[in-house]
Amino acid sequence: MAIELNIIDATGSGCSSGSCETDVAPAPLAPTTAKGRLAAQQLAAINPEGPIDWRFRRMLSLTPAYPGRWFGGVRPPVGISYVEEFVASRGVDTAGIDMNTTRRKKELFRKIEEFKPDVVGVTMMTYQYMSTYDLIDELKARYPHLKFVLGGPHVSALEAGVLDQCQSVDYAIAGEGEIPMLQLCQGAPPESIAGLHYRDGESVKSGPPRELVQDLDQFPYPRFKSYDLSKYTNEVEISTSRGCPHKCIFCSVPNIMGKQIRYRSAKSVGDEMEHFYKLGIRSFQFGDDNFLANRHRIKELMHEIESRNFEGAVLRCGQGIRADLINEQVLVAMKRAGFKQLGIGVESGSDRIMAIICKHLTVEQVDKAVGLACEQGFDVTLLFVYGTPGETLEDVQKSIDLAKKHPVMKAFFFNLVPFPGTALSDWVNENAALLGPFEHMFNREDEWKLRSQPFFETPEMPTADRHKALKMTVRASQDIQVATLKRKLKRFGVLGDVAAQAARFNTLERLFVRNRTFRRLLDRVMFN
């Protein structure tokens, strides 16, 4: 089974440089431009003339828990909260529940019986998707009058297919959910709603193809009024843009948020941060998939954040910044704004593997960017994947060597997962490389098994070698974490060394990560 590089679009992002970086400010949504006209059409769609014949007036947002998940509720849910906040601003009564902070179904039942929704919006991932379907089936049997609307990454990948997978689901929204959900609540004909899939008797039908929202500032940022923020760590996630133009073979982001990057205004982002800062939040995680793509916009955003003077705040961008977008000017601006931690999406220490996954980076570029970020005093996290078609254990060792070259804070090595809708998934299916039925592989009961056990194999890396790669990368991650803690705890002498070694024990790590008090203490140690 030969690995053919041309099975994957090796031209990458469609940009001649591969990085899609630009110094040009995002163009305004002028009415005469194509994007401006689309924005106007989208605005008209949610502002119908005459009285509204409401289909739903009370919406409950539901974030399911996932069995065996390590982290519990670290931050309040962002995606579904954007939907909730938007429909609430247009007259829908809303409430929400995050099962990651409670785990007890009786609290969900109580919420439904007290709030009395007529529709439940549910977000879901492909990981352990059957547990979400089981929960919806149980709720449908208990409350048969309720309508269920699914959204999230799994829906964006399978689209109408989720209605075939779960008969209790009434509607599914692929992609961005704010406008379709509001139109559905307002009583618009389902066949007219872009991105909506729905039941018509025994048939499953779909509305027009989904469209990317052009004006992100029309959406109010989530206030998380439905959630008790004390049940989370003292951190919220900020999303300042949507979309990614790149074509990494394993990534599902372009399927979910589109290939066109769209930005919120700097003022909108600053207002959101100030809202939570006044509530006592001191940690902000920026969740953009292409945070540095527009240099002009980053300069403007950093100036806006710096001008707000969020004293004592810890700003992180851990999602995986592209190394070819990092330079000294950008790092200085981020540091002045208060950023302390950066995640860099490296993927591999092998140029050959970089080419296979269509990353359009070189190891030399990564090496330079990581070194520069460390020199500027950032706590750097490196993100790798292993198990790519064509990859060998020697390539994995190159990734480990690169991870250990600089004094980074952490390095994560992710077992490559063929998520539906990605080029990697297509390759795995075409080559019959999956190691078991799809339903079993994505519904294993423990998050550690989901994230560590191989999903597929290749001639260059059969299953036995994938287990070796897991041991190699776990050991490397622990070595780096121990070295980091030794540096950070040096002032505590021998006691600090002993505490640093605790990073080698997964049970302790899981316990500490779940514990909100410990996470806040760890932030003080790591970032002060």
What's the CA dihedral at 9, 10, 12, 18 to 10 degrees? -170
Rounded alpha-carbon distances, angstroms, from residue 480 to 53, 67, 485, 507: 59, 29, 9, 18
Predicted confidence band of residue 482 (pLDDT cuts 50, 70, 90) = confident
In a domain, 458, yes or no: yes
Q: Same domain, yes or no, for 113 and 256?
A: no
Residue 282 belongs to a domain: yes
Strands 314-321 and 339-347: parallel
Q: Which of 177-186, 414-423, 443-452 has the highest mean pLDDT?
A: 177-186
User: Taking the CB of residue 516, how many other CB atoms lie within 10 A of it?
Assistant: 17
Q: Do residues 342 and 252 share a domain? A: yes
Whether 323 and 359 map to the same domain: the answer is yes
Both 471 and 330 in one domain: the answer is yes
DSSP 22: B
- Does residue 327 sit in the same domain as residue 382? yes
Pair (177, 249) in one structural domain: no
Shared-domain flag, residues 454 and 390: yes
Q: How confident is the model at residue 12 (pLDDT cuts 50, 70, 90)?
A: very low
CA–CA separation, 421 and 428 (whole Å): 11
Number of separate domains in the chain: 2
Query: Is residue 141 in a domain?
Result: yes
3-state class of 385 per DSSP?
strand
Which of 460, 475, 490 is the last residue in one of the domains? 475
Name every residue whose Cβ is closer than 8 Å to that of residue 144 and which is 6 or more positions away in sequence. Answer: none
Q: In the structure, what pLDDT confidence band is assigned to residue 10 with cuts at 50, 70 and 90?
A: very low
For the record, the structure tokens of 323 come out as: 């190394």
Is residue 440 very low, low, confident or very high in pLDDT (cuts 50, 70, 90)? confident
Nearest alpha carbon to residue 450 among 2, 26, 68: 68
Q: Over range 242-269, report the average pLDDT.
A: 93
CA gap 254, 422 in Å, rounded: 9
* Whether residues 194 and 291 fall in one domain: no
How does pLDDT run across 349-398, given as a tens digit for each residue?
999 999 999 999 999 999 999 999 999 999 999 999 999 999 999 999 99
Model confidence over 215-237: pLDDT tens digits? 999 999 999 999 999 888 889 99
* Most confident option among 72-76, 125-129, 444-448: 125-129
Same domain, 185 and 257: no
Q: Is residue 14's pLDDT more than 90?
A: no
Spatial separation of the C-alpha atoms in residues 174 and 154, rounded to whole Å: 9
Q: pLDDT: is 517 or 512 the higher one?
A: 517
Q: Is residue 240 part of a domain?
A: yes
* 195 and 241 housed in the same domain: no
Nearest to 395 by CA among 410, 379, 416, 380: 416
CATH number of the domain residue 79 falls in: 3.40.50.280
Domain hosting 433: range is: 233-406+414-475
User: Is there a contact between 412 and 383 (Cβ–Cβ < 8 Å)?
Assistant: yes
Residue 165 inside a domain? The answer is: yes
Q: Is the pLDDT of residue 488 over 60?
A: yes
Residue 248 lies in a domain: yes
At 66 the pLDDT is 75
Same domain, 173 and 267: no
More confident residue, 1 or 448: 448
Interval 116-129 mean pLDDT: 94
Question: 387 and 293 share a domain?
Answer: yes
Q: What are phi and psi of 443, to 5 degrees?
A: -130, 30
Which 3 state secondary structure label does DSSP give 415?
Answer: strand
| Residue 348, domain CATH | 3.20.20.70
Judged against a pLDDT cut of 80, whether residue 59 lies above it is answered with yes
Single residue among 436, 454, 475 that ends a domain in this structure: 475
Inside any domain, residue 258? yes
State residue 13's pLDDT score: 36
Rounded to a whole number of angstroms, the CA Rg of the chain reads: 23
DSSP code of 9? -
- Do residues 121 and 88 touch, judged by C-beta distance below 8 A? no
Interatomic CA distance for residues 42 and 120, integer angstroms: 24
CB count, 10 Å around CB of 438?
Answer: 15
Mean pLDDT of 162-182: 97
pTM of the model: 0.88
* Pair 329, 298: CB distance under 8 Å: no
Q: CA-to-CA distance for 235 and 74, rounded, in angstroms?
A: 8
User: Does some domain include residue 471?
Assistant: yes
Give Cα separations from 150 to 120, 156, 209, 381, 471 (angstroms): 9, 10, 17, 33, 37
